[in-house]
């Protein structure tokens, strides 16, 4: 759950920074691609590029979210702006919330002024791919960027 919160907070902070700032980072290269799970497009997954060895002295995390075709565009500060040139470890995560009560039970709790139990969070990606320390996925971004980064995940790696 902590990992999910970190991803969500990082994504929101970067998204807001891009929305409310006119600043642009120099030296970024565009990155886009596709994520599949067991050879099928993987919708709703968060793709993170963690800098390992980049040209910029202040490297930043690159973030993206897959659409219904598994396609993603990476952003650092603003949508589709890309990442600095260099080497990255790639992590992928997709979580769902599993409610502990039915909608009817939730309404009853609300009417009674009682707290609603927090849902359980389930990771849909094998943990190997979700942690920067264990992911085998890497990429190197050159001057022209990467327009066809293919990330192939397996349910049973």
Query: In this predicted model, what pLDDT tens digit does every residue of 36-58 receive, in sequence order?
Result: 999 999 999 999 999 998 877 78
Domains of the chain: which residue ranges? 2-153
2-153 has CATH 3.40.50.620 classification: no
pLDDT digits (tens, 9 = 90+) for 63-101: 999 999 999 999 998 999 999 999 999 999 999 999 999
Distance CA 33, CA 150 (A): 6
Q: Is residue 138 a contact partner of residue 90, using CB atoms and an 8 Å limit?
A: yes
Distance CA 15, CA 9 (A): 10
Q: Alpha helices of the chain — where are they, by DSSP H? A: 2-20, 103-111, 127-130
Two structure tokens written together for 54 = 């980049």
pTM over 0.85: no
């Amino acid at each position: 759950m902590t990992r999910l919160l970190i991803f969500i907070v990082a994504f929101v902070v970067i998204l807001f920074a891009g929305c409310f700032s006119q600043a642009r980072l120099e030296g970024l290269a565009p990155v886009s691609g596709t994520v599949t799970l067991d050879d099928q497009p993987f919708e709703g997954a968060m793709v993170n590029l963690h800098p390992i060895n980049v040209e910029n002295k202040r490297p930043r995390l690159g973030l993206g979210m897959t659409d219904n075709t598994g396609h993603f565009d990476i952003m650092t500060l603003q949508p589709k702006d890309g990442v600095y040139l260099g080497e990255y470890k790639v992590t992928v995560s997709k979580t769902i919330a599993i409610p502990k009560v039915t909608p009817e039970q939730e309404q009853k709790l609300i009417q009674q002024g009682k707290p609603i139990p927090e849902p359980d969070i389930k990771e849909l990606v094998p943990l190997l791919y979700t942690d920067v320390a264990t992911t085998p996925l890497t990429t190197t971004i050159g001057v022209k960027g990467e327009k066809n980064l293919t990330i192939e995940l397996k349910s049973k790696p």
